[in-house]
Structure 1
Amino acid sequence: MKRLGWLIVVALLAGLPAPGTASAAARSPADCAAALDCTAAEIDRMAMDERLELLRALQRGPAAVFGATDRWRNVEGVIAFFRDRGLGAPGTWVSHVDAGILEGIERGVAIALGRSTDGFGNPGSAEWADYLIALRRGELAERAAHDRAWSEAEQAATDHGVVLAERVRGLRPTAVERRFFLFSEFYRWTLRNRPAVLDLLLVHGVLVHPVLPLRRVPFVDWFTDVGNPVPSYEGCQVAYAHAELDPVSGSFGTLELLLAYLPELFEEFRGDRAGG
């Protein structure tokens, strides 16, 4: 008994579940969606399937009062890609960044509902709360305004996830993960800069596909549709394949990323539209 008691004390001091208490300590995605107070550290311990469950529970549950029943389906696409590729195991750089993103969403819902003012130190929490309140008020009906507000909240939570992974945990992404991360940065930039993206596609789109300049508005609408998991999932597939080949080595310009990723994404867009 004394030995068991000592093990429990050591486990608690180390921040680890004590012997025989792991299942009791770990909260389910449904628990987190109901309480809205699971930390990034708790989310980090979840498998990707559990994170999908958490995100879906948030959308059909507490976030529904804001009209946000499908406002993170594109994030679902990214998490599904991680799951299918075996990426983001607990404790990895990808996992901690993703956990920071989900924590920001969860705490944003809690703050918007008036349950708390504590963002858990995640700048994305307040941004997501502002987004949800504006969404419910009908202030984000215009597409460019909506996408800008969405991406600013997502960027703040993502940046915090990177801090958790790199400064708090001392982790670094692999070269492939870093190049893949550039795609997510490009995606959020696209949401914040719709007019500039449309102009780039008008001028340079013919280099991607002969008819893209004529279809640039529906393509950008598809690519930035936060309610559709297909563009983000397919975008991840394309971006990860490119990251493994390193076609944009040393190239961080928006135009270079646009021209590197868009040919295949445009074909995915045409296939998705044809199938729909």
Structure 2
Amino acid sequence: MKRSGWIVVFALLASLVMPLPASAAGRTPGDCTAALDCTAAEINLMSMDDRLEFVRLMQSGPGAQLDATDRWRNIEGVITFFRDHNMGAPGTWVSYVDSGIVEGVERGIAIALGRSQDEFGNPGSRKWATYLTKLHAGQLTVRNVHDKAWGEAEQASTDHGVVLAERVHKIKPTAVERRFFLFSEFYRWTLRNRPAALDLLAVYGGLIHPDLARQRVPFLDWFTDVGNPVPSRKGCELAYAFARLDPIAGLFTTVDLLLAYIPDLFREYRAAA
């Protein structure tokens, strides 16, 4: 066989064994943004880089029509963390949970824009649509009201992602992933329960830092700012470090998690101020 023939053969063999990028395996982030109908199964095939692009395009594109140009920047922070730590490869527990979250946002935008009423079986879709409709109508200007609506939509999408991973695909989280997930649950609880979180900071803040009780409102504003990717990214870094060391084993109450996570987060807040 001529040399050129061997080159073709080797190229074909390489194409069979080398993993395809997400854009070759399915629709691109741009395709999904234009159609707003990519399923969780399709999103699962995306790399974290592609998911990050997808979330950003949804905000700058169709989300902008609903005044949501920066409403999922905290999700950008989480996806960036997954990317940088090589977490969430297609077919993993993290990937399926994340796919449920991103799908919920996508379908919520589609429903809110009147393109379709199909929720794709994702309970978060309708909640995101309601959130976006109220946001666009100027009904979420009060921080407590906004964060509760956002947190409820995020929780519903996350719960659906867990169902996809554990019930549909029979994949359980690793011990580290399970402990890491506790942080995300704590974050969403804080969004949904801002008055209660402020009360807890007033009571326990002095045990964490002398200034925390006094600065609890601006600190909580920073921690739960969905338009800022930094707090979620920093929180993920801390939670992952804790999860790998297992210092929160057996700590499941809100107060336990508050005392476990807030000291380092408050230091990050002060450094960013």
What TM-score do the two structures reach when normalised by structure 2? 0.91
Shift of 1:208: 1.1
User: Alignment partner of 1:214: what SS?
Assistant: coil
Q: Aligned partners of 2:169 and 2:92: how far apart in 1?
A: 9
Residue 112 to residue 208, structure 1, CA distance change in 2 (3 Å): same
| Residue in structure 1 matched with residue 202 of structure 2 by the alignment | 202
The alpha-carbon distance between structure 1 residues 216 and 88, as it changes in their structure 2 partners (threshold 3 A), is same
**How far apart in 2 are the matches of 1:238 and 1:116?**
39
2:25 and 2:86 map into 1 onto residues whose CA distance is 25
Deviation (angstroms), 1:24: 6.1
Q: State the partner residue of 1:149.
A: 149
The Cα RMSD (Å) is 1.2
Q: Give the corresponding residue for 2:226.
A: 226
Change over 3 Å in CA distance of 1:23–1:272 after alignment to 2: closer
Among the aligned pairs, what percent are the same residue?
Answer: 69
1:272 Cα deviation after fit:
1.2
SS of corresponding position for 1:126? helix
Shift of 1:113: 0.6
Q: 1:83 to 1:25 in 2, by over 3 A?
A: closer
User: 2:159 is matched with which residue?
Assistant: 159
Following superposition, the deviation at residue 206 of structure 1 comes to 1.2
TM-fit CA distance, 1:246: 1.2
Gaps of 5+ in 1: 1-19
* Mapping for residues 106-125 of structure 1, pairs under 5 Å: 106-125=106-125
TM-score by length of 1: 0.90
How far apart are the structure 1 equivalents of 2:140 and 2:58? 20
CA–CA distance in structure 1, aligned partners of residues 33 and 123 of structure 2: 20
Residues 1:271 and 2:268 aligned together: no
Residue 52 of structure 1 aligns with an amino acid whose one-letter code is L
Aligned length: 253
Tell me which amino acid in the other structure corresponds to 1:119. E
Tell me if the contact between 2:208 and 2:259 (Cα under 8 Å) persists in the aligned partners: yes
Deviations 1:109-148 (A, max 9, x none): 0001111010100000000000000000001000000000
Q: 1:210: how far off?
A: 1.0
Instruction: Measure the CA separation in 2 of the matches of 1:24 and 1:170.
Output: 27
In structure 1, distance between residues paired with 2:115 and 2:25? 23
Counterpart CA distance in 1 for 2:214 and 2:199 is 12
CA positional deviation for 1:25: 5.9
Amino acid at match of 2:173: P
Amino acid corresponding to residue 134 of structure 2 in structure 1: A
The SS at the match of 1:265 is: helix
Match of 2:58 in 1: 58
Q: Distance in 2 between matches of 1:194 and 1:111?
A: 28
